[in-house]
């Protein structure tokens, strides 16, 4: 079991905390617990013993769910449910994770707050209960992934989402769609058809009210507005532990937005750095100062123009130059590096790629635009 990442140590703002608390109070209703148990019995699970992770809104909510499940389901005073949070030590969490996996243990449900989003590996989990709202499709995927660990003899996992009428429920559609480009029409089609294009053996059912709600949200959501982009950026920043996300961070996390989208909705942001410098101008004013260097701006724009590279030689050249002293590399050095990736290396192709990168084939307007970068 790996130690949880810094994401679990972050604290929401007071406004967010108040909203989460209000939602948690609405979730703690006896009728709701009865409905959750009834739905679990209806859909069933893989294997003899239920091994479930339930993701809750607050510590109070998690304790309530564990208490109510113990009241309804425990036999012979056996503890079938437990609540865990960041207040519990790693040793305590490991103890209950082992008990959940033990077929001879009465423990069947762990209700948690944040700590099991990632960094926990319980392969035999056969049920995931989503009992809290989330503003992030990435966190949704992380929670979903707790039940997707492979295990011999494990045929499927049951995932039940009980959030219902929530302003961001359309994020579920984005997460299940599995694509970084949020195309409204394709998302609506996926929802309307219950995500029929998912791999064989995956079945998704949404009740009529939920489906209509998500379709309505997708229709009204302004995916290309600055407001939406800022929300997407700060949501992903939270997932990254509160640090300004690097471009590589977007590749590391499934379900993250394509960072190119930050640059296409406005002519003011030609690169991801332009967008980040504007968004972080108060907390990181140094970004704006760096961005005022015209040579730097043009180099960043030129890199954004070339990437992703159209051929392997181009990114090999860029990587070799950036990792060399004084940013200088010979054709022979580049050819040697290229042999690690290419079965056939042609120095003529490398020379042509170098000429392309230095703007030899630019037209007049492109030479003017990038004159300080080439």
Percent of the chain scored above 70 by pLDDT? 81
HEC string of the chain? CCCCCHHHHCCCCHHHHHHHHHHHHHHCCHHHHHHHHHHHHHHCCCCCCCCEEEECCCHHHHHHHHHHHHHHHCCCCCCCEEEECCCCCHHHHHHHHHHHHCCCCCCCEEEECCCCCCCCCCCCCCEEEECCCCCCHHHHHHHHHCCCCCCCCCCCCEEEECCCCCCCCCHHHHHHHCCCCCCHHHHHHHHHCCCCCCCCCCCCCCCHHHHHHHHHHHHHCCCCCHHHHHHHHHHHHHHCCCCCCCHHHHHHCCCCCCCCHHHHCCCCCCCHHHHHHHHCCCCCHHHHHHHCCHHHHHHHHHHHHHCCCCCHHHHHHHHHHHCCHHHCCCHHHHHHHHCCCCCCCCHHHHHHHHHHHCCCCCCHHHHHHCCCCC
The residue-averaged pLDDT of 177-181 equals 58
Greater model confidence, 200 or 124: 124
Model confidence at 180, pLDDT cuts 50, 70, 90, reads low
Write out pLDDT tens, residues 281-333.
888 888 877 777 888 888 888 887 877 777 889 889 988 888 888 888 899 99
Averaged pLDDT, 15-26: 58
Domains and CATH numbers, the chain: 6-163 (3.40.50.300), 231-369 (no CATH)
What local confidence, expressed as pLDDT, does residue 13 receive?
Answer: 54
Indicate if the pLDDT at residue 22 is higher than 70: no
* Amino acid 14: pLDDT: 54
Is 121's pLDDT higher than 90?
A: no
- Greater confidence (368 vs 203) lies with 368
Average pLDDT over residues 201-210: 74
* 181-203: pLDDT as tens digits: 566 777 788 888 877 777 666 77
pTM, entire model: 0.58
| pLDDT digits 0-9 by tens, 244-294 | 999 888 888 766 778 888 887 677 788 888 888 888 888 888 887 777 788
């Amino acid at each position: 079991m790996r130690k949880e990442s810094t994401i679990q140590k972050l604290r929401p703002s007071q406004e967010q905390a108040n909203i989460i608390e209000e939602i948690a109070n609405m979730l703690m209703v006896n009728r709701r617990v009865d409905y959750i148990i009834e739905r679990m019995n209806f859909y069933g699970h893989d294997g003899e013993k239920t091994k479930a992770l339930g993701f809750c809104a607050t510590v109070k909510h998690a304790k309530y769910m564990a208490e109510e499940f113990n009241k309804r389901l425990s036999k012979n005073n056996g503890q079938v449910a437990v609540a865990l949070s960041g207040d519990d030590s790693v040793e305590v969490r490991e103890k209950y994770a082992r008990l959940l996996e033990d077929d001879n243990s009465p423990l069947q449900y762990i209700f948690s707050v944040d700590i099991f989003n990632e960094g926990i590996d319980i392969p035999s989990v056969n049920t995931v209960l989503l009992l809290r709202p989330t503003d992030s499709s990435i966190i949704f995927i992380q929670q979903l992934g707790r039940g997707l660990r492979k295990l011999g003899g494990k045929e499927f996992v049951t995932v039940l989402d009980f959030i219902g009428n929530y302003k961001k429920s359309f994020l579920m559609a984005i997460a299940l769609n599995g694509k970084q480009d949020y195309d409204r029409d394709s998302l609506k089609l996926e929802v309307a058809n219950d995500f029929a294009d998912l791999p064989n053996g995956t079945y998704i059912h949404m009740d009529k009210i939920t489906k209509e709600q998500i379709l309505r949200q997708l229709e009204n959501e302004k995916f290309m507005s600055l407001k939406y982009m800022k929300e997407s950026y700060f949501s992903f920043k939270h997932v990254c532990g509160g640090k300004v996300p690097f471009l590589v961070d977007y590749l590391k996390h499934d379900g993250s937005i394509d960072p190119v989208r930050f640059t296409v909705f406005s002519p003011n942001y030609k690169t991801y750095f332009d967008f980040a410098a504007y968004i972080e101008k108060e907390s990181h004013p140094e970004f704006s100062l760096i961005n005022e260097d015209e040579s730097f701006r043009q180099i960043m724009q030129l890199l954004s123009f070339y990437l992703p590279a159209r051929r392997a030689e181009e990114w090999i050249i860029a990587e070799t130059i950036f990792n060399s002293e004084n940013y200088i590399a010979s054709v022979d050095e580049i050819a040697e590096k290229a042999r690690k990736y290419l079965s056939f290396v042609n120095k003529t192709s490398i020379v042509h790629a170098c000429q392309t990168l230095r703007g030899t084939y630019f037209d007049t307007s492109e030479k003017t635009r990038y004159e300080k970068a080439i």
